[in-house]
Amino acid sequence: MTAQGAGVVLDVTGLTKQFGGLTAVDAVDFRVQERQICSLIGPNGAGKTTFFNMVAGQYEPTSGDVIFDGRSLRGLRPHQITARGIGRTFQNIRLFTNETLLENVLVGMHSRLRSSPVAALLRLPSQRREEAEAHARAMDLLKLVRLDRFADESAGNLPYGMQRRLEMARALASQPKLLLLDEPTAGMNPQETLAMTTLIRKVRDDFGVAVLLIEHDMQVVMDLSERVTVLNYGQKIAEGTPREVQRNDQVIEAYLGRRHKRPEDEVAGAHA
Amino acid sequence: MSQTLAPALPTASRQPNFGTLARNLFIAVVLTYPFLDLAFGWQALLAFIPMMLMITLAMGLNIVVGYAGLLDLGYAAFYAIGAYAAAFFTSPVSPLNAILPDSPFFWMQDFWVAMLLAVLVAGLAGALLGAPTLRLRGDYLALVTLGFGEIVPRLVKNLEPWTKGVKGMNPIGRPYLFDCTFGVDPCTIFGTQYKLGMIPYYYVTLAIGALSIFLIIRLRNSRLGRAWAAIRDDEIAAQGMGVNPVTTKLWAFALGASFSGATGAIFGAYLQTISPDQFEYSTSVIVLCMVILGGTGNVWGVMFGGLLIQSFDRIFAERLTGWVHKFGAATGVPAVATLLSNFDLLRSRLFIFGLCLVLLMALRPQGLLPARKRRESALIDETEEEANARHDAAVAQAGGPQ
């Protein structure tokens, strides 16, 4: 928006996180353009989720900076970052299991609603109007993820695949500019995975959000991403289009180990 | 439209006729109880007033424990603060009585004004005492609130110049309506004088209880109420959704405590004397038990749990004991009469109470009327495949719901 140049929604520079002696994320530079779908991949323990948690404000970075929408996010608490326009889902689904689907989505709107507790006690016209609009919008989002007919069901009763979709609707409810998805297709069968991939693309197209996802399913990554960044031991080892990354020697080495005997090995088997 | 594919969910098969009938009957009985009591000679009116106060208290605690999920073992502290705040403004023995009447703030001695001040003071105390606990969770939070519950009666005992220490404050300003001061004057209604005794207290207590339910339900269904549920279920996810845990918890403490402010003010005026031993740990525990027994997080459950515990404690334990003694005497057998005359539910009421809690927690840990009944999820499992197919079809169509 400003000095960062047009179209850059997230600009991360030199982001580092140390846990005691362990450097989980090591001086990572990273950019996401507006309306872009980016993937963050890497072997287990590469620092992907730590990176996410720093962007979302769950962890305080040891050093480095996160510029979102032209302004630094340093020192902000997670709820303030959500208000700035970053929505997220969690690696292990974290729904409000005792609440209904509708209430889950309404909580997602928290930072976009203004009514004070006093307005709620008096049920002022402004509060009633806001609630009615919020309910309507929440139902629209539930329709988007095909869960509208379970609106009054407890979220904890939903089967796994549906819970992932509900998390997506809840994240969208905060009207984000950037959506962080932590392994959105983990544990899904191929059919569910396909549906989720389609949904992610549709969300980007319809809502104009940028999407940053962590993903282990290479099929999903290659299908969906316009840009892929690879982390290994906390360091960025490669970046580029899915094709470029697929051919990158360092990436192959990180996933499969060093090639000793047969240099003509094909990359195609990398995700098997 | 894709909706047409969705089979209608079977609606809960309630019987609205029976439900509304029972509810209307309950409301009618509650509204006319003082007269029923007089007509039938039940003599339980004086038990009902503190009973309703305790239930209102439980509903305030339910905000903290049930809605926001913050285990508070020292809630009686706010009850004490409310009662003492009202007494502080209205009692002739209060040091304020030397200054207030001739100051521009004389109106603070009015009972209703003092009650509102007590609500504010209790709410403020809730926020102040809540602040240091914000980073704590679960066991640690419970221990700190336990500490507050001990500190407040201790302070009251030792701040003698202001609170009259262990002697307590007595008398306390009484509520009034028009020209009629509660519990003393005969009231003139349409030209006729009536001796109403404690009946006005009954209705004021009832009104405050009903208003509390009304306000609490509004809060529960608001942005704040949803935020409470969110931090109770998963604080990290709630933060990720934009919920500020600090202000959300502070609101829970403050609003929860404010309900005990009004309750404390009425309680003091009703008894006409308050002393620190009325606000000990056991009060906090009983109120907490009312919340848990009825069903944490559900206003009606809390009311039901409160009614059960309090009516046993204040009415049935005594009555049953009397009946058993009478029964023993009526048998005419001296051995039976002596045996049964030793039977005393009042002495064993804490034992019975404890036993009931153990049984309840073992058999129905969610309480008698839990917040939300979890429907069996088989229904949804069955439709998952279908839902996916629907999803895929709609996606292929590339239309979408918007």
B373: pLDDT strictly greater than 70:
no
Question: Is A195's CB within 8 Å of B402's CB?
Answer: no
> Is position A122 within any domain?
no
Give the pair of three-digit tokens for residue B36. 């029923």
Neighbours of B333 (CB within 10 A): 12
The mean-pLDDT minimum among A231-235, B4-8, B40-44 falls in B4-8
Say if CB B368 and CB B305 are below 8 A apart.
Answer: yes
Across the range A37-61, mean pLDDT stands at 91
Across the range A236-257, mean pLDDT stands at 87
Of B72 and B41, the one with more pLDDT: B72
Three-state DSSP at A169 gives helix
Whole-number pLDDT of residue B4? 41
A22: pLDDT strictly greater than 70:
yes
Residues with Cβ within 8 Å of residue A222, at least 6 apart in sequence: A242, A246
Q: Find which of B221, B391, B397 to mutate to test the A interface (most A CBs within 10 Å of its CB).
A: B391
Closest CA to B56 of B209, B271, B220, B266: B209
B400: pLDDT strictly greater than 70:
no
B396: confidence class by pLDDT, cuts 50, 70, 90: low
Q: What is the dihedral of CA B231, B236, B237, B239, to 10 degrees?
A: 80
Closest CA to A151 of A100, A98, A96, A93: A100
A77: pLDDT strictly greater than 90:
yes
> Is position A190 within any domain?
yes
Whole-number pLDDT of residue B390? 54
> Is position A26 within any domain?
yes
Residues of A in contact with B9 (CB under 8 A): 149
Closest CA to A27 of A240, A211, A237: A237
Across the range B87-99, mean pLDDT stands at 85
Q: What CATH code is carried by the domain that includes residue A64? A: 3.40.50.300
Cross-sheet strand order for the sheet of A22-33: A22-33, A8-19, A63-68, A71-72
A190: pLDDT strictly greater than 60:
yes
Say if CB A51 and CB A25 are below 8 A apart.
Answer: yes
Q: What's the complex ipTM? A: 0.87
The pLDDT mean for chain B works out to: 83
Residues with Cβ within 8 Å of residue B341, at least 6 apart in sequence: B325, B328, B329
Give the pair of three-digit tokens for residue B134. 């914000």
- The amino acid at residue B364 is R
Residue among B219, B226, B242 minimizing CB distance to A111: B242
B301: pLDDT strictly greater than 70:
yes
Say if CB B165 and CB B157 are below 8 A apart.
Answer: yes
Across the range B32-44, mean pLDDT stands at 85
Across the range B324-348, mean pLDDT stands at 82
The mean-pLDDT minimum among A128-142, A233-247, B10-24, B107-121 falls in B10-24
Say if CB A271 and CB A219 are below 8 A apart.
Answer: yes
Give the pair of three-digit tokens for residue B165. 């220490």
Question: Is A98's CB within 8 Å of B371's CB?
Answer: yes
Q: Is the peptide bond before B171 cis (omega within 30 degrees of 0)?
A: yes
For residue A67, the enclosing domain spans 8-97+175-271
Three-state DSSP at A24 gives strand
Across the range B22-49, mean pLDDT stands at 87
CA distance A107 to chain B (A): 6
The mean-pLDDT minimum among A8-17, A77-86, B340-349 falls in B340-349
A3: pLDDT strictly greater than 60:
no
CA distance B229 to chain A (A): 7
> Is position A143 within any domain?
no
The mean-pLDDT minimum among A189-198, B16-25, B141-150, B258-267 falls in B16-25
A166: confidence class by pLDDT, cuts 50, 70, 90: very high
Across the range B203-211, mean pLDDT stands at 93
Taking only the tens place, the pLDDT of each residue in A120-150 is 999 999 999 999 999 999 999 999 999 999 9
Give the pair of three-digit tokens for residue B189. 């209604």
Give the pair of three-digit tokens for residue A140. 């629209």
> Is position A182 within any domain?
yes
Domain-wise residue ranges, chain B: 44-294
A62: pLDDT strictly greater than 70:
yes
Give the pair of three-digit tokens for residue B88. 């502080």
Three-state DSSP at B377 gives coil
For chain B, counts of helices (H) and of strands (E) = 16, 4
Whole-number pLDDT of residue B391? 54
CA nearest to A146 within chain B = B391
Across the range A114-118, mean pLDDT stands at 89
pLDDT above 90 covers what percent of chain B? 32
DSSP annotation of B272 reads S
| Most distant CA atoms of chain B, gap in Å | 89
Give the pair of three-digit tokens for residue B202. 């009954």
Give the pair of three-digit tokens for residue B380. 């949804």
The mean-pLDDT minimum among A89-103, A104-118, B14-28, B222-236 falls in B14-28
B164: confidence class by pLDDT, cuts 50, 70, 90: confident
CA nearest to B217 within chain A = A121
Whole-number pLDDT of residue B8? 46
A163: confidence class by pLDDT, cuts 50, 70, 90: very high
> Is position A163 within any domain?
no
A232 strand-pairing partners? A235
Of B105 and B21, the one with more pLDDT: B21
Q: How many domains does chain A have?
A: 1
A270: confidence class by pLDDT, cuts 50, 70, 90: very low
DSSP annotation of B383 reads H
> Is position A29 within any domain?
yes
Q: How far is CA A271 from the centre of its chain?
A: 22
Taking only the tens place, the pLDDT of each residue in B239-284 is 999 999 999 999 999 999 999 999 999 999 999 889 888 888 888 9
Question: Is A161's CB within 8 Å of B245's CB?
Answer: no
> Is position A170 within any domain?
no
Question: Is B387's CB within 8 Å of A146's CB?
Answer: yes
